[in-house]
Amino acid sequence: MTEKEITVVFYERRFPRDEWRYDVDDRLLQEFFARLEQELTPFGIQVKKLQDPDLSIDVNGYGDLLNSVRIRSPKDSIGNLCLGHIIGASPSRDLFEDIRRGVNRVAFAPETVEPEGSNKVVCHNCGCGC
């Protein structure tokens, strides 16, 4: 029985700087989400992954990359927060680990995520409003 649904949304990414890219292997990403779903299903949590080809973001560094990943959890009143808003700074710059941290935080401690419109400055001018 699913008690909570968390959706991880990936915006299209543009890398305008020739000297910086962060490529994500789609096969590894699929495997990662399969493992994440297996870990959380026993707790009644369903994790979904979506691509949103209609929205894109310029990625000039790792902070922008976090802004291109959004987490939604309607049950927790989390509409579309960027991963950077949820986890803050990344200690390791490992996207898979950062997604795991963000999803687990929303899954098990959503009250610790500052609500949308809280004027917390964590993003890098991505336009998400957080």
pLDDT digits (tens, 9 = 90+) for 72-119: 999 999 999 999 999 988 989 999 999 999 999 999 999 999 877 655
pTM: 0.88
Please indicate whether residue 24 or residue 125 has the higher confidence score (pLDDT): 24
Give the CA distances from residue 88 to residues 4, 20, 23, in Å, rounded to whole numbers and listed in that order: 23, 21, 21
The pLDDT tens digits for 31-80 are 999 999 999 999 999 999 999 999 999 999 999 999 999 999 999 999 99
Joined together, the tokens standing for residue 65 give: 């990359």
Which CATH architecture fits 4-112? 3-Layer(aba) Sandwich (3.40)
Residue 25 has pLDDT above 60, yes or no: yes
Residue 126 has pLDDT above 80, yes or no: no
> Domain limits of the chain?
4-112
**Count of alpha carbons within 13 angstroms of residue 86, beta-carbon side:** 30
- Plot region of 35 (φ>0 → left; ψ -120 to 50 → alpha; else → beta): alpha
